[in-house]
Chains A and B, each alone.
Chain A
């Protein structure tokens, strides 16, 4: 299932940051990884990914470096900056809280178990991470 554009707008940046947390990647690799690791849910139009990367770069969350790969092709590799790591950490917590809240509302998985009385209290304020998103805004 592919996510709606509005949902993807908030999720896309953090997904890209998360992928870059492990290692530096180039554009096409990111496209492939997003599609593969999200089971196709976060597969965004490839034309959307590059503006997203430029936005993150403009905000100083990632940085790019062009260099020649072993294959001989020229690539622009992106990696997280310290600022990007902090943002990822912060956004991850917010997304976790959001997911928890959604579960408590019976929207996400685990609804039945919590319905039986095992649910934890919902977080006071939940705000989806939009910091890296909004690249289409």
Chain B
């Protein structure tokens, strides 16, 4: 027995008690937490006085049992007592050791028994850890299997739709194309912006803080602007599916932007056909022209401004000549910029243009439209179906029966599409944030909430993409489901397009869109591509109508100005403009009635009743646009009251 030990309740063996001062300043923290003021007895102290063999056996059992320190002491103390009692009865150490049994087995049993004695909290802790480990291992195995399947999969390209599109859109190579000039100018423009770290263009408001730098930008590139004037007169932009156009895109970027290298998706021909990189250059060219027009207006250079407008109109015409759906949308965007710029001019510099010039340009603007669609902006349904089929075969595996699951490479495609398809949004960005005034064209973007872009750049998708890409793959709807929804969307869009805008209530298309825009994140993500399609389909039947109204309002504004110059007063009603200035009173797409008009002291007020269909007499919320869901009226003229 250890004569210095103190017997406490249960099996705890301690040598004595420390003072609190000792506990606070001399005892290691770990020991203080374990024993408080008690001075613990070590297993070695417990076996003191035992024969060496017995002591070794006790310590061996304690060591092998891998117990907590307090438990070790308890077991060592008990086993030491056992041997001491045996020795006291006259047995030899050898006899006792033989009767005691195997050390390993004893250690194993002691360990199990002592662990059972531990607290419920400890058992819960161990159980929790085990559950976590099992869950992690299961997840790892699951992800591993999925990764394997995903890495193994690759798209099956059964039909080369890119080649078909290239052939369908092929243009006469002998006809000069504008794209080489557009690419060259856009790349130079981008290089300028990078070098000057300035991207807030175009800027139409001379009072804006961005104006100076924006003006420098267009001035620096004025020679290029004149090149664009000439290029916009050419018959065609080119074929965006033509590899030559892609090579021109890469060459232009590398020529002017130091260190620019094609991205992975640039290098992939299949992806290039989806990305249509050339769209970015068209956007850059349009922005440069708008900025130059703003600079010309501020300096009173009417001819230069009109030349910029004609170039914009030519660019819109060239884009509409490319029947690919996304070029149609860009054509709409460019046309919107032009209409906006005209109304800006009529608002801030109404007398800048001579009447003849104004009439001439009004005719050119009107000639871009057919029926209720500006330009021949009817996307080629065949091309659209090719795009659908091409995306499906690139996004999904093919089981040969029209079904399959989404591929990991589809995420790259989604991202590439998201980046490129925001082109229209970026084209029509807000122009004067400091003044709180938005370009009407920015409204193009206001409701153009790209589901695709929102989703593909959301934190949710980033996490899912980076950590659990395989799980992400599982979350997407199958090829058959996506194709089915896609076709429903297209059918519904075709039906809705036949209905007047103001009569489009609770359409099948809206029902499908609502179905896709569910609050259920998983389902929304599953049909993310269909959401994008819903938006593009919406663009087919919705945008042209809204833009037709922008055009009609712009023509009405021009007519008012011409009327004022001719009579010395603003017209009392829009009917007064018919038939000399307008063929008929423009229709408000929201209620089917005439476009709203009021003569004010400041000039004509031209407005739409807006989505709420209530005539507020031209009262407009600051952010109300034709494209928003504002409950106020949408005012076209004056364009920017704060200017």
- The interface of chain A, by Cβ under 8 A from chain B, is 26-29, 31-32, 45-48, 50-55, 57-59, 63-68, 71-76, 135-136
Say yes or no: B5 contacts A74, CB within 8 Å. Answer: yes
Instruction: Determine how close the nearest CB of chain B comes to the CB of A84; give it in whole angstroms.
Output: 15
> 1/0 contact trace for B131-160 toward A, CB 8 Å?
000000000000000000000000000000
Which one, B78-86, B207-215, B634-642, is touching chain A? Answer: B78-86
Say yes or no: A71 contacts B88, CB within 8 Å. Answer: yes
Say yes or no: B109 contacts A47, CB within 8 Å. Answer: yes
Interface of B, secondary structure class, is: helix
Q: Does B93 contact A (CB under 8 A)?
A: no
Evaluate whether A72 and B1 lie within 8 angstroms (CB atoms) in the complex, with A45-B100, A50-B110, A55-B113 already known.
yes
Inter-chain CA distance A86–B106, complex, in Å, is 29
User: What are 24 of the A-B contact pairs (CB < 8 Å)?
Assistant: A27-B78, A27-B82, A27-B85, A28-B86, A47-B61, A47-B106, A50-B78, A50-B79, A54-B110, A54-B114, A55-B113, A59-B116, A64-B10, A66-B9, A66-B12, A68-B7, A71-B88, A73-B84, A74-B1, A74-B2, A74-B81, A76-B78, A135-B109, A136-B109
Q: Which residues of A contact B105 (CB under 8 A)?
A: 45, 47-48
Inter-chain CA distance A28–B1, complex, in Å, is 15
**Given A50-B113, A66-B10, A73-B1, 11 more contacts at CB 8 Å?**
A27-B81, A28-B81, A29-B85, A45-B99, A45-B102, A48-B109, A50-B78, A66-B11, A76-B81, A135-B109, A135-B112
Q: Which residues of B contact A55 (CB under 8 A)?
A: 113, 116
Say yes or no: A28 contacts B100, CB within 8 Å. Answer: no
Inter-chain CA distance A60–B110, complex, in Å, is 17
Evaluate whether A76 and B11 lie within 8 angstroms (CB atoms) in the complex, with A47-B61, A47-B101, A50-B110 already known.
yes
Q: Does B632 contact A (CB under 8 A)?
A: no
Say yes or no: B109 contacts A51, CB within 8 Å. Answer: yes
Evaluate whether A73 and B77 lie within 8 angstroms (CB atoms) in the complex, with A46-B99, A55-B113 already known.
no
CB-CB contacts below 8 Å: B58-85 with A: 61, 75, 77-79, 81-82, 84-85
Q: Which residues of B contact A32 (CB under 8 A)?
A: 89
Inter-chain CA distance A75–B100, complex, in Å, is 18
Inter-chain CA distance A27–B77, complex, in Å, is 12
Q: Does B445 contact A (CB under 8 A)?
A: no
Nearest-CB residue, chain A, relative to B110: A51
Q: Does B13 contact A (CB under 8 A)?
A: yes
Instruction: Determine how close the nearest CB of chain A comes to the CB of B95; give it in whole angstroms.
Output: 11
> 1/0 contact trace for B456-493 toward A, CB 8 Å?
00000000000000000000000000000000000000
Q: Which residues of B contact A54 (CB under 8 A)?
A: 110, 113-114, 116-117
Q: Does B21 contact A (CB under 8 A)?
A: no
Q: Which residues of A contact B113 (CB under 8 A)?
A: 50-55, 58, 135
Nearest-CB residue, chain B, relative to A43: B99
Q: Which of A26, A53, A65 contacts B10 (CB 8 A)?
A: A65
Inter-chain CA distance A135–B116, complex, in Å, is 10
Inter-chain CA distance A65–B100, complex, in Å, is 22
Q: Does B264 contact A (CB under 8 A)?
A: no
Q: Does B505 contact A (CB under 8 A)?
A: no
Instruction: Determine how close the nearest CB of chain A comes to the CB of B1; give it in whole angstroms.
Output: 5
Inter-chain CA distance A59–B117, complex, in Å, is 8
Q: Which residues of A contact B117 (CB under 8 A)?
A: 54, 57-58
Q: Does B580 contact A (CB under 8 A)?
A: no
Q: Does B8 contact A (CB under 8 A)?
A: yes
Closest 9 CB pairs of A and B: A47-B106, A45-B101, A54-B113, A51-B109, A28-B85, A47-B101, A51-B113, A58-B117, A58-B116
Inter-chain CA distance A57–B114, complex, in Å, is 10
Say yes or no: A46 contacts B10, CB within 8 Å. Answer: no
> 1/0 contact trace for B101-136 toward A, CB 8 Å?
111011001101110110000000000000000000
Q: Which residues of B contact A67 (CB under 8 A)?
A: 7
Say yes or no: B11 contacts A26, CB within 8 Å. Answer: no
Q: Which of B2, B61, B85, B112 contacts A75 (CB 8 A)?
A: B85
Most chain B beta-carbon neighbours within 10 Å: one of A54, A63, A75? A54
Q: Which residues of A contact B75 (CB under 8 A)?
A: 50
Q: Which residues of A contact B103 (CB under 8 A)?
A: 47
Q: Which residues of A contact B77 (CB under 8 A)?
A: 66, 74, 76
Inter-chain CA distance A59–B109, complex, in Å, is 16
Q: Which residues of A contact B81 (CB under 8 A)?
A: 26-28, 73-76
Nearest-CB residue, chain B, relative to A29: B85
Instruction: Determine how close the nearest CB of chain A comes to the CB of B41; give it in whole angstroms.
Output: 11
Nearest-CB residue, chain A, relative to B2: A74
Instruction: Determine how close the nearest CB of chain A comes to the CB of B82; give it in whole angstroms.
Output: 5
> 1/0 contact trace for B431-469 toward A, CB 8 Å?
000000000000000000000000000000000000000
Instruction: Determine how close the nearest CB of chain B comes to the CB of A76; give it in whole angstroms.
Output: 6
Nearest-CB residue, chain B, relative to A75: B81
Instruction: Determine how close the nearest CB of chain A comes to the CB of B11; give it in whole angstroms.
Output: 5
Q: Which of B8, B101, B116 contacts A46 (CB 8 A)?
A: B101
Inter-chain CA distance A53–B102, complex, in Å, is 18
Evaluate whether A47 and B102 lie within 8 angstroms (CB atoms) in the complex, with A55-B113, A73-B88, A76-B11 already known.
yes
Q: Which residues of B contact A63 (CB under 8 A)?
A: 10
Say yes or no: B114 contacts A46, CB within 8 Å. Answer: no
Say yes or no: A26 contacts B102, CB within 8 Å. Answer: no
Instruction: Determine how close the nearest CB of chain A comes to the CB of B12; give it in whole angstroms.
Output: 8
Nearest-CB residue, chain B, relative to A137: B112
Inter-chain CA distance A67–B5, complex, in Å, is 11
Instruction: Determine how close the nearest CB of chain A comes to the CB of B96; give it in whole angstroms.
Output: 8
Most chain B beta-carbon neighbours within 10 Å: one of A32, A47, A67, A135? A47
Evaluate whether A26 and B85 lie within 8 angstroms (CB atoms) in the complex, with A47-B106, A50-B110 already known.
yes
Most chain A beta-carbon neighbours within 10 Å: one of B12, B61, B106? B106
Q: Which residues of B contact A58 (CB under 8 A)?
A: 113, 116-117
Instruction: Determine how close the nearest CB of chain A comes to the CB of B160; give it in whole angstroms.
Output: 68
Inter-chain CA distance A57–B101, complex, in Å, is 22
Inter-chain CA distance A48–B112, complex, in Å, is 12
Say yes or no: A74 contacts B7, CB within 8 Å. Answer: yes
Instruction: Determine how close the nearest CB of chain A comes to the CB of B75; give it in whole angstroms.
Output: 7
Inter-chain CA distance A131–B622, complex, in Å, is 80
Inter-chain CA distance A64–B10, complex, in Å, is 6
Evaluate whether A64 and B1 lie within 8 angstroms (CB atoms) in the complex, with A28-B82, A54-B113 already known.
no
Say yes or no: A66 contacts B85, CB within 8 Å. Answer: no
Q: Which residues of A contact B112 (CB under 8 A)?
A: 51, 135
